[in-house]
Each structure stands twice: as C-alpha cells, then as structure tokens.
Amino acid sequence: MTPPAGDTHSIPVERLKRSLRSEAAVEPSKVASGPVTKETQIIAIYGKGGIGKSFTLANLSYMMAQQGKKVLLIGCDPKSDTTSLLFGGRACPTIIETSSRKKLAGEQVEIGDVCFKRDGVYAMELGGPEVGRGCGGRGIIHGFETLEKLGFHDWGFDYVLLDFLGDVVCGGFGLPIARDMCQKVIVVGSNDLQSLYVANNVCSAVEYFRKLGGNVGVAGLVINKDDGTGEAQAFADAAGIPVLASIPANEEIRRKSANYEIIGRPDGTWGPLFGLLAENVATAPPMRPQPLSQDALLGLFKGEAVGRGVVLEPATFEDMCGTSFVPKPSLEVVYDTV
C-alpha cells in the first residue's frame, strides 16, 4: 500500500505494519528436549485472573531479594499489574508499547527503557495489545523475542519469576512450558472451583509437553486466600504436587495488598510465611503432575457447590422455535434393495 503524496507520517506506520505481519507469520520453535543446564532458576507462576498470583509474586520476589538473591520479576499478564504492587502502585512502561514506540522513531530498545528496580528486585512488564486490537498470546511471543535481543539468556540472575495468566489456554501463554523456557511451574489457587480448574489445566499442559519430550515440571501449589475448607489441599494431594505455602484469608493482607503495600518483609508480621515460601520455591523439584478428570475435580467440592444431582434435560424443536412441530413428508426417494 502506497501512502498518499505528502503523507510522511504514514511511512513508518506502514513499515511497522509490515514488520508486525512478518513476525506474526513466524511459527514458534519446536519443543526443546534434553537436560536443563542453566544455573538460573526460571520459574513460571500461573493462576486464574484475580486469584492473587501478582500479589504472591511481588512479595515473594521482594523476600528473595532481601535474602540476598538476585531476582528478576517479569509480568506476562496483559493487565500489567505484577510490577504495580512492587512499585507501590506505579505502572512501568511495558516492553510491547516501548518497542512499538521505538520502532516508529527508528530507535533500538535499551534495557533501561523497560527494566526497573526496587530494593534489589529487578522487574519489567511484557504488556499486551490494545483492547480489541491484537492477540495477547502473540504479544507474549513478541515480548520474549525482544528480551532475547536484549540478551535474556546471558543475564546473571539467581531467579527469574514469570507471572502468567492461567485462564487463557493458548500457545503464547503456554510458551515457557512448550519451549522449555523455564525449569518448573508453580500454580496459585484457592478453595474455589474456578481457580483449581485453571490449576488443573496448567498441570494438563505440563503433562502434555512432558509426553512430547519436554522437561518442565510442577513444583507445587500456593494456596491464597485460604479459608480452611481444604479443597485446594485435596487437589494438591490428588495431583501429586506439594503445597508450598498457605496464605490465609486475612483482612490486613487484603487491605495492604489493595494499597500496593509489600508485606513480605523479613521483619514484618508475614515475613516468616514468605520466608518459608521463598525457601520452598527455591528447593522444590519439578515434578510430573497427575491432572484430574473433570468428575474428579468436581468431586473435591460439596454437591451444593457445583450443582451435582442436576439432570440434563434435552431441548426440543418446539422449545427452540416456540411453535408446535408438524412432521412433513420427506421428498427423499428410497429404493428397495433386491
């Protein structure tokens, strides 16, 4: 497409469009196989939207840094809320928006444009496309390609924590599992069906890629907003994964989290809890999970909570059209067989 004469602003836009189309046409690499040799522990954390994985990760990464570890936190959720809690509510520029802006200006993305730090924690956000204007999964792939250009595989961190949205089952959000980009996965859930459904899906994805020769395993489950009813613990037992920590349903935690306050401080009330979580995350081995069937997952909950006992009643043509159904003679010719 040729821009109108004198329309110089549309030239870089068209160039960017062609570049993005070329990137979208590239197929993801095949699943890697072989032993993990990286010294850096790369850990992907998955969970249902709103379950508290960003809260868990912000406090976990802060505690790890206070313990003397060099930690990089990468937000891979289009909501871009991971680093907001770490930075006291301050949003940092995302890799995707920064990359687009730099491309239009003919400039290269530098580490200082997208990576920021607080009290020893290094953090960045991949971001996502504008609402209704792109695929979040493709945005994740584009973001990691940019990280690789910035030297991601040469960075010297003890831990890289990836915050992934678990609701969306697509190739982009499954990237760390599919490409062996991490050594292990941690799931965040609660005592509710929807969060455990997502956790079970993540376990299923891990098991699927293990069968294809992948090396990623599930290190365990973090129970957030634990009210003591026990469904999340029962899920972990059934799936064969450990519970790394149980964060209680507590009003102080809820209030401070809503105010973008870090509670995972060594000298704070919740310091021992997050200190133990940091230790468990560091030492828990990647395990091959045992995903539950839908019936087994529903079986963890009481009948009134999941609607068991309901009988499925088939709909009729009359139901669909609101009128009585009058059979019409068929015009089909049926030949007798000899």
User: Which residues of 1-50 form beta strands (DSSP E)?
Assistant: 41-47
Contact 281, 42 (CB under 8 A): no
For every one of its 338 residues, what pLDDT tens digit does the chain have, with 9 covering 90 and above? Answer: 455 555 545 566 677 677 667 766 665 544 444 444 458 899 999 998 889 888 999 999 999 999 999 999 998 876 767 788 889 888 888 888 888 888 888 888 889 998 999 999 999 988 765 666 556 666 677 778 888 888 888 889 999 999 887 776 666 677 788 778 889 999 999 999 999 999 999 999 999 999 888 899 999 999 999 999 999 999 999 999 999 999 999 999 999 999 999 999 999 999 999 999 999 999 999 999 999 998 899 888 876 656 666 778 899 888 888 777 777 777 777 677 65
Return the exposure string of 84-122: e unless at least 16 CB atoms fall within 10 Å of the residue's CB, then b.
bbbbeeeebbbbbbbbbebbeeeeebeeebbbbebeebb
Tokens of 143: 């973001």
Place of tokens 């909950």: 301
Model confidence over 199-217: pLDDT tens digits?
999 999 999 999 888 899 9
Model confidence over 103-132: pLDDT tens digits?
888 888 889 998 999 999 999 988 765 666
Domain coordinates in residue numbering, the chain = 37-295
Nearest in space to 220 (alpha carbons), one of 300, 292, 282, 293: 282
Report CA-CA distances (Å) from 242 to 71, 82, 285, 286, 297. Answer: 23, 24, 10, 11, 17
Nearest in space to 119 (alpha carbons), one of 87, 158, 96: 87
Model confidence over 45-85: pLDDT tens digits?
999 888 988 899 999 999 999 999 999 999 887 676 778 88
Q: Does domain 37-295 have CATH number 1.10.1060.10?
A: no
The residues assigned a catalytic role are 48, 53, 79, 167
Does this model's pTM top 0.85? no
